Chain A
């Protein structure tokens, strides 16, 4: 049994049918990536998993428990953390307060977790007392990821963590993804940067207009004709 099992998910925004039967699995300890172009339904999939959106049909199961239908704060309490699209840090709170809120489900933040986040992103340590809303986009992205890590999640959902980052920082972020995965966190990674995503992931899914059109090992997807043309910009 996979850690995360998604079966035939249909999610709507009013009348807009955004997910049209998405199914995917993430095994314990894996990094799985979900790639697709703008508006394909990647963020919608993550939001449906984390409970921000409720599917009209289909199920999401975590470790065998059905979590679809539960509100987002319950899903978070089960060990699912999300670094959302657009960062969504708390703008009028300091970096430190944001990180502390990341550990809300754990009661008190663990100093060891804080040390780990500061270790991964030294910039956040320098900026600990700065209001999050005044930081640069890249810094906010680090904060969003760090905040998700503070929950010490069993499943980490990352929505375009490389968005808006300088190339060097993109490398850093993917290095961090690999590290936290090595430390035992399962990761579902949504990316537009398919090249990087496929380099770091074990397996991948390709989503198009709300449907999964391809699923394979990352290395095989990397060689796939369609993926190379459509998502890697290769001939």
Chain B
């Protein structure tokens, strides 16, 4: 069978958009791991809670696709910001209540606390929005539902679809990634974060408030997860209390793949996973009739295992770029 390049590009677009989304979540794992060497197992659920907060916010405004453009843009901004603030405070709160008390405990203790929080948040999720998948209120105007940017803006005669939604994912993700990098490398608090990540005691001797700096990492990671939650809600047109599991697992894999603790690594890892995910879920079916989405986790972990064998510290781990 011939290589279908149109289809390939189509899934590449989907892969890049999902990859950007995974990157946002992966950064939360990496920020926290980089600074306290904790794998925050509750992070996927913090992401899910962001999606739920966005869902509640959008529903509360009563805005739909028929509302005015101003109202639609307003509600998107509100839900995005609301989800970010909500997840940031949630992540911060978990650190404050549990992890901070366990800072000097054996490593297993905060890890178990994180797993515990992951279950607690899933149950809160069920209580909040039930256990079935929920479709968010449609806020995309009818004329944009089948809109193809490649046809409408560029007059291209192609069946490849680039939806406003695909572009919106990147329009939200890229500024957040740039903003985060700027924050970590250019601001005083960012420098304190990097110092704390490298040597906590020495950082304290410099006058850095270590607890506050760690709390900032949780806030930032949570905010990115919240943004990802809002994006996922509309990108998948669904939210469910279990959604944090798969996304969390893929994002954690992305962070490890890129070199956990490394910001740029998480983005590259996220894009890799997103693209592999899209290809496995969709593109492969064209060639292997027996192929299906159920193979995707196996493929993703296969990629991870290969990278771990040849580069145990991840694609960007421990060589060129700084850890957090």
Query: A residues within 8 Å of B by Cβ?
Result: 50-52, 71-73, 76-77, 81-82, 84, 88-93, 97, 100-102, 104-105, 147, 151
Q: Quick check: A90 and B207 within 8 Å, CB to CB?
A: no
Q: Which of B194, B202, B204, B208 contacts A51 (CB 8 A)?
A: B204
Report how far A102 CA is from B191 CA in the complex, Å: 12
A interface footprint on B192-213 (CB within 8 Å = 1, 0 otherwise)? 1011001101111111111000
Q: Quick check: A73 and B198 within 8 Å, CB to CB?
A: no
28 A-B contact pairs sorted by A residue (CB < 8 Å): A52-B201, A52-B204, A52-B205, A72-B204, A72-B205, A73-B204, A73-B206, A76-B205, A76-B206, A77-B207, A88-B201, A88-B205, A89-B202, A90-B202, A90-B203, A91-B198, A91-B199, A92-B194, A92-B198, A97-B191, A101-B191, A101-B206, A101-B208, A102-B206, A104-B192, A104-B206, A104-B207, A104-B208
B322 on the interface (CB 8 Å rule)? yes
Query: B residues within 8 Å of A by Cβ?
Result: 188, 191-192, 194-195, 198-199, 201-210, 322-323
With A104-B207, A151-B207: A90-B195 Cβ-Cβ less than 8 Å: yes
Give the chain A neighbours of B195 by CB distance below 8 A: 90, 93, 101, 104
> Which residue of the partner chain B has the closest CB to A90?
B198
Give the chain A neighbours of B204 by CB distance below 8 A: 51-52, 71-73, 76
Shortest A130–chain B CB gap in Å is: 14
Shortest B177–chain A CB gap in Å is: 21
Q: Which of A82, A91, A93, A100 contacts B205 (CB 8 A)?
A: A82
Q: Which of B199, B207, B322 contacts A76 (CB 8 A)?
A: B207
Report how far A89 CA is from B199 CA in the complex, Å: 8
Give the chain A neighbours of B188 by CB distance below 8 A: 104
Q: Quick check: B198 and A84 within 8 Å, CB to CB?
A: no
Report how far A71 CA is from B208 CA in the complex, Å: 10
Q: Quick check: A81 and B205 within 8 Å, CB to CB?
A: yes
> Which residue of the partner chain A has the closest CB to B321?
A92
Q: Quick check: B198 and A93 within 8 Å, CB to CB?
A: yes
Report how far A170 CA is from B192 CA in the complex, Å: 31
Give the chain B neighbours of A104 by CB distance below 8 A: 188, 191-192, 195, 206-208
Shortest B198–chain A CB gap in Å is: 5
Q: Quick check: B206 and A105 within 8 Å, CB to CB?
A: yes
Report how far A89 CA is from B198 CA in the complex, Å: 9
Given A51-B204, A52-B204, A72-B204; 19 other pairs, CB 8 A cutoff: A50-B205, A71-B204, A72-B205, A73-B207, A73-B209, A76-B206, A76-B207, A81-B205, A88-B201, A88-B202, A90-B202, A91-B198, A92-B194, A93-B198, A100-B191, A102-B206, A104-B195, A104-B208, A151-B206
Shortest A188–chain B CB gap in Å is: 14
> Which residue of the partner chain B has the closest CB to A88?
B202
Shortest B138–chain A CB gap in Å is: 47
Shortest B316–chain A CB gap in Å is: 13
Report how far A100 CA is from B194 CA in the complex, Å: 13
Give the chain A neighbours of B205 by CB distance below 8 A: 50, 52, 72, 76, 81-82, 84, 88
Give the chain A neighbours of B323 by CB distance below 8 A: 92
Which of A51, A76, A100, A147 is packed against the most chain B CB atoms within 10 Å?
Answer: A76
> Which residue of the partner chain A has the closest CB to B191?
A101
Shortest B103–chain A CB gap in Å is: 13
> Which residue of the partner chain B has the closest CB to A105?
B207
The 6 A-B residue pairs whose C-beta atoms are closest, nearest first, are A105-B207, A76-B207, A72-B204, A88-B202, A90-B198, A104-B206
